[in-house]
Structure 1
Amino acid sequence: MTTASGAPPRPDVSVVVSVYNTMPYLTRCLTSLVEQTIGERRMEVIAVDDGSTDGSAEEIARFAALYPGLFTTVRQPNSGGPAAPCNRGLELAAGRYVFFLGADDHLSPEALERMVTMADDCRSDVLLCKMVPVGERTVPTGVFSRSSPAIRLVGDGLPWALSNTKLFRRSLIERHGIRYDETMPAFSDQPFVLEACVRAARISVLADKPHYFAVRRADSSNITYQAPPPVRLRCTERLFETTCRHLAPGPLRDAFHKRHFHVEIFQLFGADFPALPEDVRETVCTGAARLIGAHGDGVLERLDPGRRRTLELAWRGDIPSLCAEIARDPARTPRPPKLGRFPAVRKLMTAMLG
């Protein structure tokens, strides 16, 4: 099919899939895309392989051969994180909307069709579809309590739903030059999503049924889980920098800062913290204290007692008491680094840590 000018029609939606060693989950992911009811003429899939070594590249090639009109494929050396392949996908995207799908995850058959229809009907710049967890993955729930043509930046659960698994109006992304920070091995989707949501005229939610199935790999082998605490600290600092750049002081900014204290800062003090080298513990504690001192006023007291106690100990620099607090909490689980799975990660992390 071509337009009157002879050019192929512009797809309604470009789906960007950033891939790094995600077999066997990748097969289910790509299968869910070829099964979309929106049809091949209205969508395109841009699969960017970031130097996989587990057969993911071959699986992408197999799907591209079976569905040549649907898939655009890119293979590049490993970059150390999802930011670079996501940016590469954006460069190639032609759709009116762009949707980022995790290579571990999959969609319901009608997901893209229903999202595009709602976004068109509501004139949405950003649209969230209901996510459900598979395995031990956690997903936000509050923002998906009901479908809504328009939600607020704060008050409807959006600060707790900053993953990039959303439908974005591509003209908004391009008009403001919004891109992923390729120097962030972890959390790089959050600054991207925050800026897009701040600049959006309307953010909508499609929540009447699950459309996005978020999968936790059995070995937790992705960069967010594997990045060591000092790198997660530096990436978290970037999150605070982003909120300060795009949101004026006040309730809106505080709501996003509460999320970062509740999640990213608190997770720096998991069960693995007491076993870290002394200098690393000192670095993490000092960095967290700096963020608490700069942004915690009026926010820290709104955390639950357990998190508040942990962060107060970090702010005071009381590492022995902090380690004892962690040891008493059976809910904290370690995330030991396995950096060998990410050949470019060491270089990127070294650059971040100076």
Structure 2
Amino acid sequence: MPYLTRCLASLTAQTIGAHRMEVVVVDDGSTDGGTAEIERFAARHPGLFTVVRQPNSGGPAAPSNRGLELATGRYVFFLGADDHLAHEALERMVDMADACGSDVLLCKMAAVGERTVPTHVFARTAPSIRLVGDGLPWALSNTKLFRRSLIERHGVRYDEEMPAFSDQPFVMELCFRARRISVLADQEHYFAVRRADSGNITFRAGPELRLRCAAKLFATTCRFLEPGPVRTGFHRRHFHVELCQLFGPDFPALDPRVRERIVTGVAELVGAHGDGVLETLDAPQRRILELAGRGAAEALCAEAQRGPGRRTGARPARSGGSPLRGSPLVRWLLTPVRHVRRAGRQLVG
């Protein structure tokens, strides 16, 4: 609350109509008045809401899995309780997915309250995009339309051992298994909100939790992708987004023992997955990860204190788009994908 009110109102206003949708609300032990608000909406819209209440699980994975158990539609869409949809969002997404035969469909996102959202993947509406080359690795949130039969056929669920970021391995597995991934980008459909108190769980996750979750991301890509440019594209994203951000301005203030554990953990991931990837990073990110690989915690503190704009070799940040844009890596990542492995069989992505 009060973000939940706008979230639920955006669902009851959907042009797809109540006869073509179901809203499964999982109240994961809310304590802010959300329960009463859910009851109010359910009473005003009989038959539309299925409401489940459970003790707080500590993260979004368990309630997301509970919602999947109850869903009956041809498609599922995950909407954060802080966020909201444009009026025509679900109708237009379903229409496009039906027309294109999409297993996964991304809708254009808009940032509210200093939230960041991907941009490169939403450069244009596309009936089909590639795993790497169109910005998908940089857009791994679960704010997508998924064909439910794909989820159930492979038994895909959120990892309940991940208090945060559990949507990313979930999304990656479904994208790796999908026959077609589409993008609806002609207008903004999903409004991602950063609370005024920065209370979103992803903003509250500590560095050690982030590191454990990053290891799960690498494990997911290695499970489904053979070594090659597609795996490199996803690992490049994991290094850039998940690992480099651990050495931001808050790193020097951490307890020295925590700093050492972070450096050791990152060094292990760099050693396991860095070959062929580190050289594709921009110079500042490459230097950070090379220092971590050498266990140079004090040097990493100095780098963090200097700030990104003053690090050796740092370049001004580009506005919008994916960090892939303008990289030499793009030239060879745009070749046909022949490195996706599904159940031991080779497929063309």
Structure 2 gap segments, 5+ residues each = 311-349
Contact 1:185 1:224 in 2 (8 A): no
2:53 to 62, 72, 75: 75
> Is residue 2:115 matched to residue 1:115?
no
2:280 to 289, 299, 302: 302
Q: Which 10-residue stretch deviates more, 61-70 or 161-170?
A: 61-70
AA matched with 1:87? N
> Is residue 2:262 matched to residue 1:269?
no
The separation in 2 between residues aligned to 1:152 and 1:251, in whole angstroms, is 12
> Is residue 2:125 matched to residue 1:157?
no
Aligned to 1:213: 191
> Is residue 2:257 matched to residue 1:287?
no
1:315 to 281, 293, 317: 293
Q: What is the SS of the residue equivalent to 1:204?
A: strand
Aligned to 2:256: 278
4+ residue segments displaced more than 3 Å: none
Contact 1:197 1:203 in 2 (8 A): yes
Q: What is the SS of the residue equivalent to 2:191?
A: strand
Residues 174-199 of structure 1: per-residue CA shift (max 9 Å, x gap)? 00000000000111001110110111
The separation in 1 between residues aligned to 2:100 and 2:93, in whole angstroms, is 10
The separation in 1 between residues aligned to 2:276 and 2:88, in whole angstroms, is 43
Residues 73-128 of structure 1: per-residue CA shift (max 9 Å, x gap)? 11111111100000000000000000001111111000000000000000110000
1:166 to 144, 148, 152: 144
User: How far apart are residue 330 of structure 1 and its match?
Assistant: 6.5
Q: Give the superposed CA RMSD.
A: 1.2
User: How far apart are residue 252 of structure 1 and its match?
Assistant: 0.9
The separation in 1 between residues aligned to 2:9 and 2:109, in whole angstroms, is 18
Contact 2:194 2:200 in 1 (8 A): no
1:87 to 48, 58, 65: 65
**Percentage of matched positions with identical amino acids:** 75
User: How far apart are residue 299 of structure 1 and its match?
Assistant: 1.0
> Is residue 2:208 matched to residue 1:226?
no
Q: Which 10-residue stretch deviates more, 189-198 or 270-279?
A: 270-279
AA matched with 1:157? G
The separation in 2 between residues aligned to 1:318 and 1:299, in whole angstroms, is 20
The separation in 1 between residues aligned to 2:198 and 2:241, in whole angstroms, is 17
AA matched with 2:278? L
Structure 1 gap segments, 5+ residues each = 1-22, 333-354
> Is residue 2:227 matched to residue 1:246?
no
Aligned to 1:12: none
TM-score between both structures, scaled by the size of structure 2: 0.87
Aligned to 2:6: 28
The separation in 2 between residues aligned to 1:277 and 1:112, in whole angstroms, is 46
Aligned to 2:109: 131
Residues 240-285 of structure 1: per-residue CA shift (max 9 Å, x gap)? 0111001111111111111111111112112221111111100000
The separation in 2 between residues aligned to 1:143 and 1:134, in whole angstroms, is 18
Aligned to 1:179: 157
1:59 to 37, 52, 65: 37
User: How far apart are residue 222 of structure 1 and its match?
Assistant: 2.3
AA matched with 2:283? P
Residues 211-233 of structure 1: per-residue CA shift (max 9 Å, x gap)? 11111111211222212211111
TM-score between both structures, scaled by the size of structure 1: 0.86
The separation in 1 between residues aligned to 2:279 and 2:227, in whole angstroms, is 17
AA matched with 1:245? R
Aligned to 2:347: none
Contact 2:23 2:49 in 1 (8 A): yes
Aligned to 1:13: none
